[in-house]
Structure 1
Amino acid sequence: MKFTDSHCHLDDNCFSQQLPDLLSQCDLHNISRIIIPSISPDNFQKVLSLTKQHHQNPIDLYCTLGIHPWFIKHLSISDLEKLSLLIIQEKQHIVGIGEIGLDGATSKHAAQFGQTPEENFKQQQLFFDYQLNLAQRNAMPVIIHHRQSHHHIVPFLKHYQLAKSGIIHGFTGSYQQAKDYIDLGFKLGVGSSISFSRAKKTINTFKRLPIEYLVLETDAPSMPLSHEIESNSTKLYQNNSSKSPANSPLNIPVIFQLLVNITGVDPLVLANQLERNVDDIFLT
C-alpha cells in the first residue's frame, strides 16, 4: 500500500534540520507523496524550492500556491497579481491553488488587525474570489480552508463550478455540508479530527460517505493526533536528540487505520481508492 499526505506544511522551520531523515522515514512507511500548500507570499519560494529539490528524492513532493485567509491583513490586490504571475511562470511545478478559503472565526477577532469583522470578512471574500478565478482560468484544483464559513464558501463554489474542483481541507462538518461539497465534485480531507472520541459528528459523516470522495492529510506540524492515539511523529527523531514536532506526515498510516476502522472497508481497497482520489484531483 502507498499513501499520500494531501496537506502538509513541510516548509515549516521545525522540519528543516531533519528533512532528509523525515523523507527517508516517509519512504519506509509507504508515504510516497506529500502535497505542500503555501499560505502567504512569504513562503511561495520556499515551497517551490522544496518541490524542485526533493522531487522523487526519495518521495514525490508537490506544491500549491495560495494565500490563506489568516495572512491577508497586510496584503493588497498587488499581492494577488504577483501570485497570478507566479502561477503562470511556475505552472509546471504547481499542482493547484491553495491554501485559500474563508474563516468566520478570524473575522470575529478583526479588531486586533485594525479592522471591523465586516471589513475583515469582506477582504477575505475578495482574496477568495480572486484565487478561485485564478483556478478557473488556469484549470487548476484548489485546497480550501474553512471555519464557521460553509454557508459562505458553497455559493462561491457554485458560481465558479471549477472543472478541477479540489479538496475541502480538514473537513469537520455535517453530512449535509459534506454532500454540498461532494455534489460540486470536491474531495474531503480526513485528518486528525477522527482521532478524537468527541468528534462523533465528523466520524459519523465519514462513515456514511462514499470513499471515492476522501483523501488523507495531516496538516503537519499543526493538528496533532489525540493523546488517546499513539503518534508516529516521534519516529522522526528516533536517532536524534532534537524535539519531535507535534505532528508529521508519519502519522498518515495512523489516520488511515482509523479510517479503516470507521468505514469498515478492506484496507487495500481503501488505500488504492484514496490514492486514485488524489490522482483525480492533482495528477490528471
Structure 2
Amino acid sequence: MIIVTGATGQLGRQIVERLLTRVPADRVGVSVRDPQKAQAFADQGVRVRHGSFTDAASLAHAFEDASQVLIVSVDKMGEEAVRQHRAAIDGAVAAGARRILYTSHMGANASSAFQPCRDHAATEEALRASGVPFTSLRNGFYAASAVQFAGHGLESGAITLPADGPVSWTAHADLAYAAAAILADEGLFDGPTPPLTAAQALTFDDIAAIATEATGRTITRTTAPDDQFRKQLVSNGVPAEAADRLLGIFAAGRAGEFAAVDPTLGALLGREPITLGTILSEQLSSDDGR
C-alpha cells in the first residue's frame, strides 16, 4: 500500500488526487491529523487513518502494510521540523516500507542561507541513515510563494521587496503530478532527484514585467534594504525570528541557491511546466472576479 502523509494540505491533497488516476484506491492510504478532512478520499475507497509525527503509536497504525511512504514535509522550521521528519522516517522503517519518499527542496543544503533548506538537508541525511531505499523530491520553489510575496504590490502597482536573485518558481500542480508519477513507478529515482523545476528562473524584476503585461497596468519593482524590510515586518506583527528566516529566502536567492533550471519535471509531465505568468494571470483574474 502507498501511504501519503499530509494529504489534506495543498500539495499532499493534489498528490493523492493524481495518484488515484494511476493506481486503484484500495492501494492508497493517507495519514492525516484530522481524518474528517479526508472524508472525500475515504468515499473513493482510500484508507484514511489518523497519524501524527509527534505520536509514534499513531504512525504505526497509519503506516500499517506500507510498501511506500511519502512524507510531505511539515510546515515548521528548525529542529522541530527535523525531529518530526525523523519520527516519520522511523515510523516508515518500523512499518517495513520498502521505499520512503520525501518532499524536499531544490536548495536543500546544510550551508543554505534559508533555514528550511538546511532542515531538508538534515532530513535527507536521516533518510540516508535509515537503511531503506529513498527518493528525495527536490521540488522547485513554490510559485504560490512568489504570488504571496508580490501580493499587495500587484494591487498597489509597486512590488517592494529586498534584493533577490533568479528563482525557479514551480506550480504545486506540476509537483503533485511528478510525485504521483514517481510513486506509481518504484524504479524512478534512487536518492535525491534532479531539481524538479519550471523552465525559467525569474527575479522579481521579471515578475513585475509579467504582471505589467498581464494587467495592462505599470507595476514597478523597488528594492528595500534588508533591515528596513525586517523592521516593516516586525511592525506588522511578524515575530523577529520569523522575519529573519523570511529574509533568508532573499539572501539565498541572491546567492543563486534557487536559480537552477532542469528538464526533469517537464519530462515527467510530458509537457512544459506551468509558467509563473500563467499562475499570475489566473490569480489576477480570480481577484478581479471577487
Shorter-chain TM-score range:
0.3 to 0.5
The normalised TM-score by structure 2 is 0.33
The normalised TM-score by structure 1 is 0.34
Higher radius of gyration, 1 or 2:
2
